[in-house]
Structure 1
Amino acid sequence: MQSIKWLGAGIALAALAACQPASETSAPAEAGLASMQEASTFTVLVGGTPIGALEIAAADDGYAIDYEYRNNGRGPTMVESVRLDENGLPQSWTVEGASTFGNPIDESFEFVDGEARWTDNTGSDQAVPAGDAFYVPENASPYWLAIAARALIEQEDGRMAALPGGELSLSEIEDLEVTGEHGDRTVTSYALSGTGLNPTYFLMHGDAFFGIMTPGFAILEAGYESEDERLRGVAAEYGARRFEEIQQRVVHDYDAPVRIANVRVFDSRDETLGEPVSVVVVDNRIDRIEAADARGDGEVVIDGAGGTLVPGLFDMHGHMGETSAFLNIAAGVTSVRDMGNNNDVLDGLEANIQSGRVAGPRLFRSGFIEGRSPFNSNNGILVSSEEEAVAAVQAYAERGFHQVKIYNSMNPEWIPAVIAEAHANNMRVAGHVPAFTNADAMIAAGYDEMTHINQIALGWVLEEGEDTRTLLRLTALRRLPGLDLSSDRVQATLDAMVERGVAIDPTYAIHEALLLSRNGTLSPGVVDYVDNMPVSNQRGARTAWADIANDEDDANYRGAYDQLTEVLRMMHERGIFIVPGTDLGGSFTLHRELELYQNIGMTPAEILGWGSWQMADYLGAGDDLGSIEPGKIADFFLIPGDPTEDFKAIKTISMVMADGRVYFPTEIYPEFGIQPFTEVPNIMDGR
């Protein structure tokens, strides 16, 4: 279905306006509009915290819609006008405003004389539908779900062609009882799917919109905010059931020794590719490595066909959810360092992964600590004092988190105490540079690792008093082309990192997406896989993130990317330890993250060893993970080609083994609307 960018990583918003009771909206009588009394105001919440509002005004033949939220100093602002025909299908639709990262939105759709025409951030197009078709906006408020639901309910099978492509499918799930200021209600939950990776779960009161729910994010009719936590739990369970069903269809737990025959094993310690062998797994451990043609009784043999077996990769900057968990496994990313999350939501996901209920990577959790402010993020633990910040460290230490992550709104004066407490508990400290200080101060305070390359670079270009709790922490990168990287201030920061052994988590690929994506042009990071993706993902891949207002902005953002690349090259040459993380969900984007480091002089073999063995060792898990050796956990993946010669070979994976369970990505991808990239290997079951 439609890519709901307002559900992406980093959603967090400022408190919102007063709510109006449902009785203030009159019930429209036209076909395709809600016939029941429908609320005019809905509250946007993240983890139970109000962060914005959705406001609906009904007209004779459509709706006017206002939608805005702010979380973590950013969020979308949209004003919509939609006009419907007698069947509830869009006849015209306009959306104006700005996306989460500031890219202007000026989208329009019109259906005239049997022809659909639309213009969005990817360009303009038209189509003549063969029958009924529903236009799915590229950018829209979630109220489009209600409009689509009313149209789909009128279809006999709950399905309809979607424009620009794909097919919408509506499924009714169950009735739920809710209680709020306007009385008890019976609402019905639905799943809408068809043009994206997953269904979206939402609620209707009859044919009136009631809200949308995900495990961490909800939009509910004003007056029913108290139902937020329960309904987010319901959404989490819907997702878990869906992924559990997928897991049952695609996991292969053979209950027998599994031999991957005729493969060349990549030695991640020596960064070399060996001669053909076979690798035998018993339970979830690598039992032995033998000759390529060796065989044993009662084995399941997977023919590697001379391909390459690579140790499972690590995404060192994730914010894990169910979809990204599953897609990481399909991409050979068997371990993820989660850098901050809704702790309760992640507890549930981790339990489901560990029990085998759903597929997902092994998680290394960072304790997210954020200061309260009008711009704060709403993940992890929010604190209002140094004492509360230290207590948050203690709470994470008691739960076994391996490090804490400091965020934007933390008071810089609290940081030394936080670091001291973390180090006293044998925990590392990573994080953003809090507002109104700089990387040099955080390095001096005792950070073990800096998070995001822009957080370091901002200290070289910001003026005193500028507030990085806003989008300025991204847009100020336009100033980088004028910076002399040989200057004393730049070199002093790098010197301090070398002297103190401070690592960097640059999230290189997300900076490529931010700085190089342009409206109507395919983003460079997705070119190798975008054609296999659902329609909404393909549209998003041709949309800018930032507001590129003119040629000067274009040149400055491109120049900023070049400057960041040069900084990373300098860091690598000086021995500053770099860890590869995406902040983009991992999977395909981790492949791109790794690929990009060829820009700073790393070889494919060096990158593979770094992205597997070195990360396992960095996290203290090298005894079990990071290499293909007898006695280690069976986390690895099979590719037909040789990634030491052509790094792009890692993007074509035919088999993954994660904790001893076998997956074939070709069986997983269709579950998410993705066209597979390879065939399933030949399997001989000798049991």
Structure 2
Amino acid sequence: MISARVSLLALSLAAGLVGPAAAEVQKFVVIANGEKVGHLTADVQAKSATVDYAVSNNGRGPKAKETIAFDASGMPVSWSIDGSSLFGSPVQERFTWAAGKAEWTSQADKGQIAASRPILYAANDASPWMLGVYVKALLKAPNHTLPLAPAGEMRLKEVRKLTLGEGAKAIPVTVYELSGIDMSPSHVLIDAKGELFGTLSGSLIREGAEGNVPALQKVSQEIELQEAMDAQAKLAHRFETPVRIRNVRVFDPKTMTVGGLSTVVVFKDKITGVEPQEGALASPAGEAVIDGQGGTLVPGLHDMHSHTSLSSNLFNLAAGVTATRDQGNYNEELLGWLDGLETGKLAGPRIVRNGFLEGRSPYSARHGFIADSLDDALKDVRWYADRGYWQIKIYNSMNPDWVAPIAAEAHRLSMGVTGHVPAFSSPDRVIKDGYNDIAHINQLMLGWILDPTEDTRTPLRLTGMARAGSLDLASPRVQQTVALMQQKKIALDTTAMILERLMLSRSGQVQEGDAPYLSHVPIGYQRYRKRNFVTIDSPQQDADYHSGFAKVLEVLKMLDDKGVQLLPSTDDGTGFSLLRELELYVKAGISPGKTLRLATLDAETYFGREASLGSIERGKLADFILVDGDPTKNISDIRKVRMTMVGGVAYYPAEIYQHLNIKPFAAPPPASVAK
């Protein structure tokens, strides 16, 4: 396969690629939610370029110094990347092509392949400037497709042409979609000279052109929205007649058990019947019939900590997630999607919206609103209330003295309060100040681990968890907080799986939670998951992170035993992550049946919607999934979702994954029309 792909590359080189730009310094800025959070400077020469890239947002961000050498056609033949990744882990990545051989070394892997001509390399830690290099190479390639080292291929598609600005200052750019590397494509802007202008989202833009970001974001939203609407039209299966789902075993979250073979009937968006298979009447002629082949019907799963995107909607449906709690987003974008989700023009789970509210500091996260004063924060609370948000989410840089009045205003307006524990505060204080739940198990545990003077606006809120291994869960400090949670009925949005990813990530290794799906996804994401996000300087530090994560699992079990409601959650958008979260609950010692109840009926009870959702009963909304196997016996069977139904509309994960260029995991169930 490699030689065949490299021969395509040879053809493209024969056609002549666009070479490097004439000598110039290209300057870009990085934008998040309208604010500058970083820079990129590329010093471009005839056959080389050096790039300086740095981002600081939410107390973290990648930093890279790149040196690239090109051949006469503009293909990279030498490429070095030095710096640090998102959470500060050291980066030293190398790629070379010479004498018919491509070699690379990265955090994820090292290797070599034969290549008679230079071949594109999908770097782990490249700056966005390399998007322009990729586009140049692909524009002259047959079918705008080229092979990649280490594996896979990269594809390019022209999306539309734009003119930014007016008159003499007008800038024509072309929007290209670059795909094949990661789970979602990139939309890249190229100017009339063939040089990188930025990304369509406006997160990277040429210096001096920042005024175009709002217009670009509008176009980006239009393109993504149209693609999502096209996907819904392609993937949604609607039924005009009742649907009879036969040969299934129904999971009952009230008893936490699976029953005998049953038939479940759905009409429009409601469940109209649940009856034993034995003695069930034949399906009336003309009705739709789905054969569950002995699988398990489970109420739709919940991710209680998500950050919605149009692509995450599809990933969630494919994983059986039918409801999410959005814990902070770009407000206008999220509000713009609601009509499409509610009217069925967009595919996705039901979304409960929380309003993101941050304080101003050098470490501020750029989502939602950043309040410069208490009056501003209270005004932002009212803005969210007027638009029907369910809760306010408070973040790291919020002034601890403002939490109580913010919470009081939210409660006055019938909203709840959740969030991180702001820096220099404590779990006990935010609970007393009015929190209804705490976001992230580490935000809870850090109150027992760190000194109150330590600054959790930095990556310390993650790296500090290496100290958790020695934590005594019977200590007064821990039990005082737990008693307060019991007394005030405070829930915990756990996101244990994201801590596993951060604390146990090791260069070149596949984590236990990623192994079941990783070979099915694009090469860029495979390599991204095989890297370390924390810095490991010694065997002791490695051991500390392992013991720290083991303590996370102990805390999960302790809280469940104490009656504290756990909210299964991820802070991730792949869908695979929620399934791992459930596996971790079971690994912690919570039974599979209880875990499934927490992810279904208990989550809906927390939302106050248990009368219409959360279990498979006549009269409730038809939100459930068909699983191959019995997840009450083996929780990992929850990964084998064959069908997801939301409001009576069926989606087959195999079709969604094929649409997303991911190898499917389980075949759709047989469907027919009764005669």
TM-score tier by shorter-chain length is over 0.9
Contact 1:159 1:169 survives alignment (8 Å): yes
In the alignment, is residue 89 of structure 1 matched against residue 79 of structure 2? no
TM-score of the pair, normalised by structure 2? 0.94
Q: 1:328 aligns with which of 313, 316, 329?
A: 316
- Which residue of the partner structure matches residue 210 of structure 1? 197
By how many angstroms is 1:252 displaced? Answer: 1.0
- Which residue of the partner structure matches residue 251 of structure 1? 236
- Give, in whole Å, the separation in 1 of the partners of 2:551 and 2:413: 37
Q: 1:229 aligns with which of 191, 214, 217?
A: 214
TM-score of the pair, normalised by structure 1? 0.93
By how many angstroms is 1:505 displaced? Answer: 1.1
The SS at the match of 2:567 is coil
By how many angstroms is 1:680 displaced? Answer: 2.1
- Give, in whole Å, the separation in 2 of the partners of 1:551 and 1:377: 33
Q: 1:594 aligns with which of 563, 570, 582?
A: 582
- Which residue of the partner structure matches residue 471 of structure 2? 483
- Give, in whole Å, the separation in 2 of the partners of 1:325 and 1:130: 42
- Which residue of the partner structure matches residue 133 of structure 1? 119
Q: 421-430 or 102-111: which moved more? A: 421-430
Contact 2:356 2:367 survives alignment (8 Å): yes
Q: 400-409 or 493-502: which moved more? A: 493-502
Q: 1:395-474 maps to which residues of 2 (within 5 A)?
A: 395-474=383-462
CA separation of 1:156 and 1:533: change in aligned 2, threshold 3 A: closer
- Give, in whole Å, the separation in 1 of the partners of 2:269 and 2:367: 33
Contact 1:34 1:208 survives alignment (8 Å): no
By how many angstroms is 1:185 displaced? Answer: 0.8
Q: 360-369 or 566-575: which moved more? A: 566-575
Contact 1:533 1:674 survives alignment (8 Å): yes
Q: 2:61 aligns with which of 45, 64, 75?
A: 75
- Give, in whole Å, the separation in 2 of the partners of 1:240 and 1:73: 31
CA separation of 1:291 and 1:487: change in aligned 2, threshold 3 A: closer
Contact 1:77 1:98 survives alignment (8 Å): yes
In the alignment, is residue 62 of structure 1 matched against residue 62 of structure 2? no
- Give, in whole Å, the separation in 1 of the partners of 2:287 and 2:116: 53
CA separation of 1:258 and 1:188: change in aligned 2, threshold 3 A: same
Q: 1:252-291 maps to which residues of 2 (within 5 A)?
A: 252-291=237-276
By how many angstroms is 1:37 displaced? Answer: 8.5
- Which residue of the partner structure matches residue 123 of structure 1? 109
The SS at the match of 1:469 is coil
- Which residue of the partner structure matches residue 112 of structure 1? 98
Task: Give the partner amino acid of 1:252.
Answer: H
By how many angstroms is 1:88 displaced? Answer: 2.0
* CA distances 1:248-278 after superposition (whole Å, capped 9, x unpaired): 2221113222111111111122211111111
In the alignment, is residue 186 of structure 1 matched against residue 172 of structure 2? yes
* CA distances 1:632-652 after superposition (whole Å, capped 9, x unpaired): 111111112111111111101
In the alignment, is residue 553 of structure 1 matched against residue 531 of structure 2? no
In the alignment, is residue 240 of structure 1 matched against residue 232 of structure 2? no
- Give, in whole Å, the separation in 1 of the partners of 2:562 and 2:86: 36
- Give, in whole Å, the separation in 1 of the partners of 2:46 and 2:427: 56
Task: Give the partner amino acid of 1:633.
Answer: L
- Which residue of the partner structure matches residue 10 of structure 2? none
- Give, in whole Å, the separation in 2 of the partners of 1:35 and 1:150: 11
The SS at the match of 1:654 is strand
* CA distances 1:615-661 after superposition (whole Å, capped 9, x unpaired): 01111111221111111111111112111111111101111111211
Task: Give the partner amino acid of 1:285.
Answer: K
By how many angstroms is 1:526 displaced? Answer: 0.8
By how many angstroms is 1:352 displaced? Answer: 2.4
In the alignment, is residue 639 of structure 1 matched against residue 627 of structure 2? yes
- Give, in whole Å, the separation in 2 of the partners of 1:537 and 1:469: 28
RMSD: 1.8
Task: Give the partner amino acid of 2:135.
Answer: A
Task: Give the partner amino acid of 1:254.
Answer: F
Contact 1:47 1:229 survives alignment (8 Å): no
Contact 2:17 2:137 survives alignment (8 Å): no
In the alignment, is residue 175 of structure 1 matched against residue 161 of structure 2? yes
- Give, in whole Å, the separation in 2 of the partners of 1:97 and 1:677: 37
Q: 1:151 aligns with which of 109, 127, 137?
A: 137
- Give, in whole Å, the separation in 2 of the partners of 1:586 and 1:493: 33
- Which residue of the partner structure matches residue 674 of structure 1? 662
Q: 1:575 aligns with which of 560, 563, 571?
A: 563
- Give, in whole Å, the separation in 1 of the partners of 2:73 and 2:579: 45
The SS at the match of 1:74 is coil
Q: 1:529-540 maps to which residues of 2 (within 5 A)?
A: 529-540=517-528
By how many angstroms is 1:131 displaced? Answer: 6.0
- Give, in whole Å, the separation in 2 of the partners of 1:542 and 1:182: 48
CA separation of 1:133 and 1:446: change in aligned 2, threshold 3 A: same
By how many angstroms is 1:38 displaced? Answer: 6.4
In the alignment, is residue 613 of structure 1 matched against residue 601 of structure 2? yes
- Give, in whole Å, the separation in 2 of the partners of 1:35 and 1:601: 59
Q: 1:22-33 maps to which residues of 2 (within 5 A)?
A: 32-33=18-19
Task: Give the partner amino acid of 1:219.
Answer: L
- Which residue of the partner structure matches residue 26 of structure 1? none
By how many angstroms is 1:166 displaced? Answer: 1.1
- Give, in whole Å, the separation in 2 of the partners of 1:129 and 1:634: 53
- Give, in whole Å, the separation in 2 of the partners of 1:393 and 1:174: 39
- Which residue of the partner structure matches residue 372 of structure 2? 384
Contact 1:33 1:62 survives alignment (8 Å): no
Q: 291-300 or 149-158: which moved more? A: 291-300
The SS at the match of 1:40 is strand
Give the unaligned 5+ runs of structure 2. 1-15
CA separation of 1:383 and 1:274: change in aligned 2, threshold 3 A: same
Task: Give the partner amino acid of 2:217.
Answer: R
- Give, in whole Å, the separation in 2 of the partners of 1:622 and 1:130: 62
Contact 1:257 1:300 survives alignment (8 Å): yes
Contact 2:566 2:598 survives alignment (8 Å): no
Task: Give the partner amino acid of 1:442.
Answer: V
- Which residue of the partner structure matches residue 483 of structure 2? 495
- Which residue of the partner structure matches residue 102 of structure 1? 88
By how many angstroms is 1:103 displaced? Answer: 1.5
Task: Give the partner amino acid of 2:456.
Answer: T
- Give, in whole Å, the separation in 1 of the partners of 2:117 and 2:600: 51
- Give, in whole Å, the separation in 1 of the partners of 2:253 and 2:555: 26
The SS at the match of 1:537 is helix
- Give, in whole Å, the separation in 2 of the partners of 1:366 and 1:136: 36
CA separation of 1:477 and 1:445: change in aligned 2, threshold 3 A: same
Give the unaligned 5+ runs of structure 1. 1-29
- Give, in whole Å, the separation in 1 of the partners of 2:593 and 2:447: 34
Contact 2:381 2:409 survives alignment (8 Å): yes
- Which residue of the partner structure matches residue 6 of structure 1? none
- Give, in whole Å, the separation in 1 of the partners of 2:227 and 2:453: 48
- Give, in whole Å, the separation in 2 of the partners of 1:175 and 1:72: 34
By how many angstroms is 1:666 displaced? Answer: 0.9
By how many angstroms is 1:246 displaced? Answer: 2.1
Contact 1:370 1:409 survives alignment (8 Å): yes
Q: 1:658 aligns with which of 646, 650, 655?
A: 646
- Give, in whole Å, the separation in 1 of the partners of 2:493 and 2:554: 15
By how many angstroms is 1:191 displaced? Answer: 0.5
- Give, in whole Å, the separation in 2 of the partners of 1:250 and 1:491: 49
By how many angstroms is 1:486 displaced? Answer: 2.4
By how many angstroms is 1:296 displaced? Answer: 1.9
